Amino acid sequence: MVPPAVARLSRAWFPSGGIAASASEDAHSKLVRAGFLRQSNAGMFHMLPLGRRVQDKVESLIASHMEQSLAASRVSLSSISAESLWEKSGRLDKVASELFRFSDRRDIAYLLAPTHEEEITSLVARSVRSYKELPLRLYQITRKYRDEFRPRHGLLRGREFVMKDLYTFDNTVELALETYHKVRSVYSQFFSDMKLPVLAAKASSGDMGGDLSHEYHLPTPLGEDHVISCNNCDYVVNEEIADAAVSSEVAADSSFETWRGITKDRTKLVNVWYPRWIQLPGGGELREMTYRDINMSAVKSVVPDLDTAVEDALPFWSAAIAPQTRTATEVINVIDSRLPSSLADGLSGPSPTISSWPATLSPPSMPLPVSSCRGVRSGSGSVSLNILRVRTGDRCPQCSSGSLKVERAMELGHAFFLGTRYSEPLGAMTTMPPAGQPSPMQMGCFGIGISRVMGAAAEYLADRTGLNWPLAIAPYSCVVIPGKDASDSDATQVYHQINGLSGSARRFLDPVLDDRQKPLPWKLTDADLIGFPVIVVLGREWERAKRVEVQCRRLGVKQIVDVTDLAVIIEKLHMTL
């Protein structure tokens, strides 16, 4: 039998090296320096051959889970969507600021799709009629577009990105929820394959719609979310929907501070009143609060269009109340419900005793309406408004005996139970027995950011030496590097020995031979920068005793082994990585 062709680095193009490392180099800079990608425009990147291999592996891994575990069929939807469809779903105005929009020569309005709920629902509405055609599971892996105001952190926050979407259609709520939980299990297995400590957190559905949602987060200092978890129970939530920090009480003096924000249209001043001092249970530690302790998600539950990117609102508000503009329309006081009710009373009424106005500004010549809020509506009543963030060490609101941990995290995936949010307005109906009346399909949508998985994995595992890929998505699982005393045939022999592994060890096996005409020290440095999980070196011991050096930086392995034992060593490493 003729052995398979040897994968050789000399046959692939990737411009590694040649870029000096900075003193505080992040993982994105390492991706550029190692030749995985290059920036084309702000928040947009060309994927080079090494980067494309990682992307292909992430796509292949998630596709296998979609098809084998969920029997989902793969589709490829157009990247261009009609604005009229988004108007029909009622979502266009809510997300308009983040859309790339254009018109064709007939002046018909289109957009580059940031997501495909409208398109997939419209497609299914035109194609499926009978309840017997459900359940339906459709997924795609495609480019998406979002006009990010501030693209940053490379692949973690881009304007063009690759994403996997799964859309599910069921006949009943019960079946749709069963599907929802099954997909969540598949997602957990996908992230487990990469051995990344991803947290599945209950989350807000936001503009997507529906009333059940979970996010999949990887802890990282670059994360834009805060995930809260309990050390004693299964309480894991996004900060946006975290229950009040029941373990924190306002200190006895009831003093307060004010942070001032402004709405995105610059017409409303938002005064956030919060306790200055919080005391832990049992007369414990006193903590002084600052505006950085404010949970902006709680404030946005009262003022949805708050511009959280603005820390100093007063210059904008000065312009809004100036006589020549007079664009200001309202002042909104958002008050932590733990502050005394007298504060709210003092801010309202015809003659307020507490001023809503910053000391540095005079009220406008035309009086503005002033409103105050100490709670948010929930069902038939209202719930307390806790303005401050949950803190590490607070008591768990679910089990009471557990302690909470708060950590920054990057969202890699999201699961939504949509119900009839899209099927009803877009006419995705089936005829159900016995009455034969049309009934809207019950939908779910489930996304994983392929680009984000790449960027987050690189960021989470990189060290000062270089990248350090998870075995499942590494560009190559193992690199064979011959020294000056090893011939190409020697290196090829070692390559085939590794590539001959069988059984479960083959699952992510993908070796490559570094036959580039470069010195051995250069190759070793480059291998560490690229982040191969395993490195096999034919060095000084090869000519003398047919022994090779096996390196695995992630596991701290560096040992000389007989070539006859190499397969066993590689298999053990692969089972651990």
Convert 304-347 into a string of H (helix), E (strand) and C (coil).
Answer: CCECCCCCCCHHHHHHHHCCCCCCCCEEEEEECCCCCHHHHHHH
pLDDT, position 470: 96
Helices 566-576 and 488-499, axial angle in degrees (round to 10): 50
Q: In what order do the strands lie in the sheet with 286-288?
A: 249-250, 277-279, 286-288
Are the CB atoms for 306 and 296 separated by under 8 Å?
yes
CA atoms lying within 13 Å on the CB side of residue 293: 20
* Percentage of the chain lying above the pLDDT 90 cut: 62
- Residue position matching structure tokens 């006859």: 564
What does the pLDDT look like over 46-65, one tens digit per residue? 999 999 999 999 999 999 99
What does the pLDDT look like over 459-500, one tens digit per residue? 999 999 999 999 999 999 999 999 988 899 999 999 999 988
| C-alpha torsion 209→213→214→215, nearest 10 | 10
Instruction: Give the chain's domains with CATH numbers.
Output: 50-232+405-458 (3.30.930.10), 249-389 (no CATH), 467-576 (3.40.50.800)
Taking residues 156-181, report their average pLDDT.
96
Angstrom distance (rounded) from CA 203 to CA 510: 37
Q: How many helices (H) and strands (E) does the chain have?
A: 14, 30
288 phi and psi angles, rounded to 5 deg: -90, 130
What does the pLDDT look like over 550-572, one tens digit per residue? 999 999 999 999 999 998 999 99
Q: Which residues lie below 8 Å from residue 204, measured CB to CB, with a gap of 6+?
A: 213, 238, 240, 241, 297
Token reading at 470 = 């998870």
Angstrom distance (rounded) from CA 315 to CA 318: 5
Is residue 502 exposed (0-12), middle (13-18) or buried (19+ Cβ within 10 Å)? exposed
pTM: predicted TM-score of the whole model, two decimal places: 0.85
Confidence of residue 373 (pLDDT cuts 50, 70, 90): confident
Instruction: Collapse the DSSP code of 244 into the 3-class scheme (helix H, G, I; strand E, B; otherwise coil) and give the result.
Output: coil
Q: Which of 460, 491, 539 is nearest to 198 (CA)?
A: 460
